[in-house]
Structure 1
C-alpha cells in the first residue's frame, strides 16, 4: 500500500517554475560559489532583520489560529526561539559584517520585504492555520532545502567562501531538524482539516497551491531585492 502524498512535496510539484526560481535563484548560486557582492549580502542581512520581526508576528498569529495544544505549543516555541534567540544571533552576525544594530533599526523596509510579509499575515488573518502554514512554508522549509542543496552542490565552495557560515547554518542539523518539525506540523494540520489523500480533487487544494506559489514568487522578489544592491 502506497503512503499518502506529502502536502509539502505536492505543493512544490504544483509550482515547479516558481519553486526552482526561488531555491536556485542567482543570489543563492552566487552565495554558494562565494561570488555574491558583499554589498548585496549586507543589504539582504538588513532586510532579513526586518523580515524576522514580521516572521515572528506571523508565528504569533499561528498561536492564535491554533486549536490543538500541540500546535499551540509548537507555534509558541517558535515565537520564543525567533524573538529571544534567533534575533540576537542575527544582530551579532550582522555586526560581523559591519552592520550595527543601530543600522538595522534605521533601515527602511524594502517594498519586496513589505509585500512578502504582509501577504503572509493576510493569508493567516483571512484564513485558518493551514493557510498560514502554507504561506510560511517557502521560508520555514525552503531555507532548509536551499541549505541542503548548497551543501550537496559540487559548485559550492566552502574554503575561503565569506558566506560559509550562512551555508553551514542552513545545511546544519539544528536548522534541518527545526524545519522537519515545521514540515510535520504542516502535514498534521492539513490532515486534520481534511486535506489528504487525493489532493488534486480536494476543494481546498487550488487555494493552498496558489498561496504557496505566490509565496515562492515573493521569495524570488526578496532575492531580487538583495541583488539590486550591486
Structure 2
C-alpha cells in the first residue's frame, strides 16, 4: 500500500508567518496587535486607571500562564521539551517579580493585586488555554499560548520602532522597552522555533484545527485589551 504524502502550506521556519497571514487570521491578529489601548499607550494618552487595571489583571493572568506551561511540561513526551517548559515557568516567575516592581511605581502592592477579582476576560482567556491543554495535545496548548508570547513581541517591536511613539515623558515607554528587550525577543524566537519544529510533522487537517485554536486565543487577547480600555 502506497504511503500518503502531502505538502504543507508553509516552508520550514514559516509556520507562524503562515498563520498570521491567513485571511481568517489576519483580521483578528490586527485587532490584537494594533488595538486602540496600545495606540494610546504609545502616545501616552492612556488614562492611568486603565493601565493600572490592566497591570493587575495581567499579573493574575501570569499565574494561570505559569500553570499552563507547567501543564505543557506534563504533556511533553521528551526531556528537552519538559526542561523547556520548566524554564518558561521560571522565566514567568522572574517576569512576575519585575511586574510587581513595575506595579509598585504605580502605587500597587502584591497584596493590592491579589485582593482584586479576576475579570471575566482574564478568566475566560486563561481557562480556555488550560482547557485546551487538558483536553488536547501538547502542540494545541502551545498554539493556544502563542498569541500572548508572540503577540507581545510583535507589539513591542512595532511600537519601539515607530517614530510616532512618545518616549520622553511617556510613563508607558518602559513597558514598551521591557517587551522589546533582547531577552524577551529571544524567548519569542525560541517559542516560534519550537512551534515550527512540531508543525512540520502534522497533517493539513490538523493544521486547520490548530488555526481555529489560534484564532480563538487571539480573540481572547484582543478581549484583554478591550477589558483595559473599558476602564476609560
Q: Which TM-score bucket, shorter chain as reference?
A: over 0.9
In structure 2, what is the equivalent of residue 175 of structure 1? 184
CA deviations over 1:163-221 (Å, ceiling 9, x no partner): 01101011111110111111111111222xx22xxxxx701011111100111111111
Task: For 2:20 and 2:101, locate their aligned partners in 1 and report how far apart those are by CA, in whole Å.
Answer: 33
User: How many aligned residue pairs are there?
Assistant: 221
Task: For 2:13 and 2:27, locate their aligned partners in 1 and report how far apart those are by CA, in whole Å.
Answer: 20
* Aligned with residue 218 of structure 1, among 212, 217, 220: 220
In structure 2, what is the equivalent of residue 119 of structure 1? 128
Q: Does 1:6 align with 2:14?
A: yes
User: Contact 2:37/2:46 (CA < 8 Å) preserved in 1?
Assistant: yes
In structure 2, what is the equivalent of residue 198 of structure 1? none
In structure 2, what is the equivalent of residue 58 of structure 1? 68
- Alignment gaps of 5+ in structure 2: 1-9
Any residues of structure 2 matched to 1:29-44 within 5 Å, and which? 29-44=39-54
Alignment TM-score, normalising by the size of structure 1 = 0.93
User: Contact 2:121/2:224 (CA < 8 Å) preserved in 1?
Assistant: yes
In structure 2, what is the equivalent of residue 205 of structure 1? 207
Report the Cα offset of residue 148 of structure 1. 0.5
| Root-mean-square deviation over aligned CA pairs | 1.3
In structure 2, what is the equivalent of residue 88 of structure 1? 97
In structure 2, what is the equivalent of residue 156 of structure 1? 165
Alignment TM-score, normalising by the size of structure 2 = 0.92
* Aligned with residue 37 of structure 2, among 27, 39, 44: 27
CA deviations over 1:56-89 (Å, ceiling 9, x no partner): 0000011011112221111111112212x11211
Report the Cα offset of residue 5 of structure 1. 6.2
Q: Does 1:99 align with 2:108?
A: yes
Report the Cα offset of residue 127 of structure 1. 0.8
Task: For 1:177 and 1:54, locate their aligned partners in 2 and report how far apart those are by CA, in whole Å.
Answer: 22
Task: For 1:184 and 1:80, locate their aligned partners in 2 and report how far apart those are by CA, in whole Å.
Answer: 19
Task: For 1:155 and 1:213, locate their aligned partners in 2 and report how far apart those are by CA, in whole Å.
Answer: 29
Task: For 1:5 and 1:172, locate their aligned partners in 2 and report how far apart those are by CA, in whole Å.
Answer: 22
Report the Cα offset of residue 138 of structure 1. 0.4
Which 4+ runs in 1 deviate beyond 2 A?
2-5
